[in-house]
Structure 1
Amino acid sequence: MRFAITPLRQRLLSISSLTATAALVLALSSTASYAQPIDTSLKVTTADKGNLPDAQSYCKGEIAATTQYAQYVSKRRYEINCMMSELKSYQQANLSPTVQYTAFKAQAWLSYAQAEASESSLSPVSPASLDAWQQGVSLLQALHNQQADLLMHSTNIPNYSTLLRPDLWATLLALKQNGAMAVAPRELAFSEVKLIWAAAEQCEADWRHAREHFDAAERWLNQAKTAYVDNDGAKLAILQTEVAKLQTELTPRVGASSQCQGQDLTSIR
């Protein structure tokens, strides 16, 4: 049996359809206003400095022309993509290990900055996000100015992170101090930033957020150690002795995961 639709029901259905249509139009218009294509000709202004601390755009000339980007991205992401494009020229195997290490470290910091901005879209200028961006910018500028050597021996944990996993830090420092950068600049650079990232995550959240970054740092360090030792038993024994010594010195410095205050490890030998 079919029931006839009364005039009242017809009016109610019409109102309901109009309401749904209006809501859809509003949602679409909101999305359109939010996801506008970036204007690659825009210069970074004072208002943008919360996201882009350096007032000069890195997306210009040949770098901008060779950088691929989605139609809808943030200005921060576009700038990072341009810097990543430029860093590739400093990561070539024929360049000095110092230059390669600095370029890979800049890449790691910028990846950290982008991840922080993506996770904290409501507050993109968190200390970690802003510092990671500035670290990447500083390293790229050092490469521009041929000053990568000046930053080589600095090992500083920023104040939003802390010293955790002294075994991994000891391995990193021992490898850096014994010439492993000549064979594993990328692995050492990536592991160093990952250790800082991991501890910051544990300070801010808990070990579940930190574990993947600690695991990644350990993988990079294992690759660096394998490349450095190169099946040389005597070299491995010396490295293990150095690691044990450094770990003994670092362990008393381990901070509470709830109290991130940073540390300067440059003098640790």
Structure 2
Amino acid sequence: MRAAELFDVSGEIALVTGGGTGIGFKIARVLAVNGARVVLAGEDQGTLEAAVASLCELGGHAIAIPIDVRRDDMIAPSFDRIEKELGPVSLLVNNAGIAHRDKAVKLARETLRDVMAVNVEGAAMMAQEAARRMIRDGRGGSIINVSSVLSELPMRQVAAYSASKAAISQMTRCFALEWAKHKIRVNEIRPGWFETSLTDPFLKGAGAGVMANQNPTGRLGDSHDLDGAILLLASRASVYMTGSAITVDGGHSIGR
């Protein structure tokens, strides 16, 4: 099979949470320019619409839909709307997330709850709804969870975020095990340090240079570094992969 066919995503209907900015937008872009019909989900309608316009300028097909992944009453209706406008979601990318930086002794219970509500519970409920419909229709599909190298790599002052990403990693494996018989693949990518609005608090000032210098490649992740991993997990190229994690960090997690 030729590469163009193996990595073809032109028949996919992809829902990307947190798709208006940062890594979510990068993921949506590579899917859209390669022919997938992309749904950008998030809370800020203006940001989503600007992202949709950008993808359309690149020749992609994209729409925006408001979803707060913490609200159960928004999830199923959003999938209903997508099915009506485009068809059933065949690819879900769970990217929506929030971060927090503070000393562990100062971590408030409410902060921990907020991080878990978005990063873990939101991803779980989105995956559950996507899987229910894939099982209902007997068509299978792909779910990609965006975790982080911090799911396994300890770092000071990010206990809540790191714990949430570790939960995503285990959830990925559990869902993959349960849903494999339905031809639903559940995998994760673990990005390293990319400059986005989410990582701004960590990379401000000299932080970016420090993190780049700690990376074996000598740099942070750039705009297209996730493209290959996403196309792999979104396409038939990963038909025999489930419960897998792909680390895209320039070697950061293995040290200098």
Normalised by the shorter chain, which TM-score bucket?
Answer: under 0.3
- Give the TM-score, by structure 1 length: 0.27
Higher helix share: 1
Higher strand share: 2
- Give the TM-score, by structure 2 length: 0.28
